[in-house]
Homo-oligomer: A and B are copies of this chain.
Amino acid sequence: MTHPVDYAHRERSRFYDELWDFLRIPSVSAKSEHNGDTERAAEWVRAQLSQAGLRTETIATPGHPVVLGEWRDAGPEAPTVLIYGHYDVQPPEPLELWDSPPFEPAIRDGRIYARGSADDKGQLFLHIKALEAHLATRGRLPVNVVVLAEGEEEVGSPNLVPFVKAHRERLAAETVVISDSAMFAPGVPSLLFSLRGLAYFEIHAQGPRSDLHSGAYGGAIPNPANALSRVISTLHDETGRIAIEGFYDDIEPPSPETLEGIRSLPFDAEAYAAQVGTIPAGGESAYSPLERLWTRPSCDVNGMLSGYTGEGAKTVLPANAMAKVSFRLVPGQSPVRVKELLEEHLAKVAPAGVDLTLVELHGGRPWRAKLEGPLFEAASRALERSFGARPVLAGEGGTIPIVGEFEEILGANSLLLGFALPGANMHAPNEWFATDCFERGIDTLIHLYDELAQGGNSG
């Protein structure tokens, strides 16, 4: 009997062809003119799951549909695995910065360039092909499987939590597997030990009733843009520490083992600076860059607007100023508490004559993996078998709010096992996915299902 991995290697060329078909569909969920394409991507996923041998259903939501694929014949003793991914993609703009068209995949230097190649079509596709390889060779899967592919991840998954709540029983699973993140480095597979949460706000500063002439009023009337700048400057102290009273109080630090793991990872500041275009000098100077990104909260201005921003010199004293300010949170912190603390802080630093208003835009709880136990063991062995190296533990600075929700609603543990590489331009022009990761990713997931069936205890 052909081993599923051998099957996957033999069928590789067809897999690439199929991936090309998937990547060619411009399923940009944020743009209504692409609604037809987004529906087409959903149907493409459904058909693929069906051809692989799963029972499929496309379920409408108020937005883009959810595609479910189910295979439940592994028996009542076998665990159930929920595989989550998304078939929608970020807008490709600015188009002029792409070296090849975003929806016409091209391989250069061992990389598949296309919008969605890494985030997340390419990684969702790995699961579909791993499932197909099992079913095509053995006629069965080692575990019960529910695949949930949504089409609204890039617009904040507005309909997913209601969907999961409404289908709580059907989605019930011990384990959620998500491949929508990156490896630590080429050849260094990794498992995520945490995700940061998010608390996203707008701060509005209102000074005079309307824009004024900066000559006629400047020096007497408080300027809301100057005031907001001062307010933003109070959010950090000189060492890069967030200077909101009580902000760090609730943090539950990572385990000594996790910290030791992070400190043992190589971090090439020079290469990082070359990639990003500036040195990693942001945030708390008391921590290393990786510790800051993975284990410490952050506070960033995401946008700022006030007064006249066109060409030339307009002498306006603006009536108001706005900043979008977001915080990444670490385990122990919550968006609700951070909002309270920020409100208290703003009340303290509010300048005379300028009204500050806080508007909450978006939140997501941080998540921490249960590192001990069979789940991580299973994933580690699967990765080792395909990459020839034990995975390292890595954090993720970003937020995937649905992970916490899956755990809470379904009572599942999550495994975040991603195959993109750092610098993959996941929300930028020239997004890419390494062909090596694509190929080893399928192998890994084939092994993973086997390992999960053993409860993580096989050798």
Contact = CB atoms under 8 A, between A and B. Distances in A.
A138 interface: no
B318 A313 contact: no
Interface in A307-338: 307-310, 312-319, 321-324, 326, 328
A397 to B, nearest CB: 5
A328 B219 CA distance: 9
Contacts of A315: 198, 200, 302, 326, 398-399
Given A213-B398, A276-B212, A303-B318, A293 B222 contact: no
A453 interface: no
B214 A328 contact: yes
Nearest to A219: B298
A307 B280 contact: no
A53 interface: no
A254 interface: no
Number of copies: 2
Contacts of A221: 276, 278, 280, 282
B328 A292 contact: no
A305 B302 contact: no
A34 to B, nearest CB: 18
Interface in A180-205: 196, 198, 200
Given A216-B398, A233-B229, A397-B215, A302 B314 contact: yes
A396 interface: yes
B230 A300 contact: no
Interface in A263-291: 276-284, 289
B398 A282 contact: no
A213 B289 CA distance: 15
A365 interface: no
A300 B308 CA distance: 12
Given A225-B304, A314-B302, A215 B396 contact: yes
A282 B220 contact: yes
A351 B233 CA distance: 12
A10 interface: no
A218 interface: yes
A107 interface: no
A181 B442 CA distance: 76
Find the residue from A228, A229, A289, A362 having the highest chain B CB count within 10 A. A229
A453 B288 CA distance: 79
A165 B288 CA distance: 62
- Ranked nearest first, the 8 interchain pairs of A and B with the lowest CB-CB distance are A209-B277, A215-B398, A219-B298, A225-B301, A229-B232, A219-B283, A281-B353, A303-B307
Given A219-B397, A220-B282, A221-B280, 8 more contacts: A209-B276, A216-B426, A218-B282, A219-B328, A300-B317, A303-B310, A313-B362, A315-B326
